[in-house]
Structure formats: structure tokens, C-alpha cells
Structure 1
Amino acid sequence: MPRLFTGLEIPGDVAFDLDLMRGGISGARWIDRDSYHLTLRFIGDIDEGLAREIDYALEGIDAKPFKLRLSGCGVFGGNKPHALFVGVEESAELRRLQAMHERICQVLGLAPEGRKFAPHVTLARMKDPDLRALHSFVASHNLYKSRVFEVARFVLFSSRPSRGGGPYAVEESYQLQAGA
């Protein structure tokens, strides 16, 4: 059974910039540069038949390429932070694309995603991080902005079950069409 999710790849030069941020927080497990991505819809462990149906449905998505920029820095987990991330500037096109993925998954029988879509790129997963270092990291990277980049495709990723996910493999890619 593959463990699948849909997402966007991060351009190499932007991933390089994110990689330069690594370090300085004890208790952080930093994500490898080639594993940076923006998740659109986590699908989970499914059988091959459903995976083929999802692939077929994703091929039918009709959306145009769009521009995106990563921006800011934050943590998930409140008083017990467990993930450090870089955010994404608001994008109606990104939200529409994610909503299409959500609809496809629900139509094919998957339960609705329980969490509100919060687009981000995870930099590190954390267990009992040094809170002073974490707050300092977030404060010093809060004004981060990547270059604007074009999203011309989305992908169907697979991952092997492991703590924190990864490594990820691109199973299929789907081009966004300018005439959509």
C-alpha cells in the first residue's frame, strides 16, 4: 500500500536558501533540502486501485500556472512546538488548486481533511526544542521572503512510513495549462 500525498515542489535555488537557515536549535531534526515541498492534500496509505483512481482524477484538473512566494517563519504546536516552517504568501490560485485536490479525494471516498489548509514548507521537526533558540530563530527569520517562482505543475508524492516522513518520491506529475 503506498502512502501518498499531493504537493508542490520547491525550486532548487529556493530550497538552497531554505537550507542555509538550518541549525542553531537543539532538539530539531532538519529536513533535507531535496525533501522540501508544500503539501496540498495528504492522502495516506491506500490500495493500488484507489491510487490509480486518484491519479486519473488528478490528470483532469484544469488550472493555470501561477506565481508563489514563500514568506515568514513560524512553528506548529503552540506551547509544545513540534514543527518549524516557512509560510506562503496568500494565493487564491493555490487555495483553488488545493480545494480541487480535496474535492477529488472526498469524491473518491476519502474522509475530509481534518485540519484547515495552512500552506507551508516544513524546515524541521522538533522534540523538546530549546525554546529560547527557537524563538530567536523565528524572530530572525520572520521577515524572510523567497523570490517569486512559477508553479507550473503539481505532483503525487509517495513516502515510506517513517518518523517525520521522507524520503519522498515523485510518482506522477501533472502540468498546469496556460489555457485552462
Structure 2
Amino acid sequence: MRVFIGVRLPDVIKEQLGAVQEEVKRASLKGSFTDPDNFHLTIRFIGEVNPEQKGAIEAALICCTADQVPFLVETDGWGYFLKKNKWIIWLGIKENGQLHQLYDQLNAELLVQATTVADEVAFIPHLTLGRGIVLSQEWETLSKVPLPSEQKIPVTALTLFESVRVNGKLVYRPIADFPFNGQTIQSASSKPTNP
């Protein structure tokens, strides 16, 4: 199974991201746009794992979240990664020490459990709106489109997600939630769930 660790988003934030995403669609010739049900904040991509590795990841998540306290992050401006002349366009997250501390602690716990190697990719928290995008206008034009005022996103748990295809559609299926100072909550695995 292909997995990653992230933060679920409230439905109201998903709706606001959908409106922002429409601006990207209008400025694009083509691209693969994130399904609103799949909007999330990635904390750590893992990749393919076997059942033993999955158990170790869950153990790391239990340790990482045991003493965490909830906090808020806020959205920021437009951002992008450029890959082979195609764009990955996202909405950024304001610099947040608690979020970076959580990321560092998670990486440390994953290494203790010997489930992963050190993350060699810089942690740039963001909410992906679309991938493989070919813009029909200059980036500077799109980046000047006004965004809603900063949205506050509660970070109260980490979720282990599985990336699967369901009837040809990419779905990020929650496997289990790990609430801060709480108990693990297993998600229904028989069908995709909307966080």
C-alpha cells in the first residue's frame, strides 16, 4: 500500500480551497486538479509499505501525538513547484513553529521505528490545488488574484492515509486518526471516507 501522513481539513476549508482552485482552472490550459474530497495538509510522504512497516508507522504516530497539544495554522499566498515545464500550484501555510516541531518529532519517531530514512525533501507546508498544470497566462498574473483572508486550520490529530484508485479515481483514504493526547481511531477501510 502507498501511504502518507497528513492533517484532515474541515469541510469549510475544503469549500474555500475549491473556490481558489477555480481561479487556477481559469488560468490553465490543462492539468490534474485535486478532488475537493482529497484536500489535506501533507506532513510526511512515506510511499509503498508492507503490513509490518505500516504497524511501525502507526507506533511512531502514537508516540508522536501522545504529548502534542492542538494548535492552529493559517493559509498564506499562492505558491508553486515547477517540474518539467509543468506546474504544481498550491496555497501556502504561514510559518508556524509548532507545525515544524511536529514534523521534526514525527521524523525522529519514524527513524526510531526504523520505518523510513531521513526525509531529504525540505518541509514546505502547503495545500495542493493541482498538478501537471500548463498555464494559459503568466504566473505573475495568477499570483495577483486576490485570495480569501487567511483561513485558520485546526491541527488536532495526524492521519495515516492510503493513496488508492477507486473506479479509476484517485482517493486519499484515511486508515487511522491519531488525535493529540488521545486514542487511535481506526477509519472504515471498506470504502473511501470524506474527512
Structure 1 length normalisation: TM-score? Answer: 0.86
Q: 2:38 aligns with which of 35, 40, 43?
A: 35
Query: 1:72·1:145 contact (CA, 8 Å) conserved in 2?
Result: no
The unaligned stretches of length 5 or more in structure 1 are none
| RMSD between superposed Cα atoms in Å | 2.3
Q: 2:81, 2:18 → 1: CA distance?
A: 19
Q: 2:105, 2:31 → 1: CA distance?
A: 33
Q: Which structure: greater strand fraction?
A: 2
Q: Does 1:113 align with 2:116?
A: no
Q: CA offset at residue 138 of structure 1?
A: 2.1
3-state SS of paired residue (1:132): coil
Identity, in percent, stands at 23
Deviation readout 1:96-137 (Å, 9 max, x if unpaired): 11111211222214121121100001001124x125154422
Q: Does 1:20 align with 2:13?
A: no
Q: Does 1:157 align with 2:156?
A: no
Q: CA offset at residue 78 of structure 1?
A: 7.1
Report how many aligned residue pairs link the two structures: 173
Structure 2 length normalisation: TM-score? Answer: 0.80
Aligned positions of 1:23-172 closer than 5 A: 23-24=25-26, 25-61=28-64, 62-77=67-82, 80-107=85-112, 108-127=114-133, 129-132=134-137, 134-141=139-146, 144-160=148-164, 166-172=170-176
User: Structure 1 runs of 4+ off > 4 angstroms?
Assistant: none
The unaligned stretches of length 5 or more in structure 2 are 183-195
Q: Does 1:175 align with 2:152?
A: no
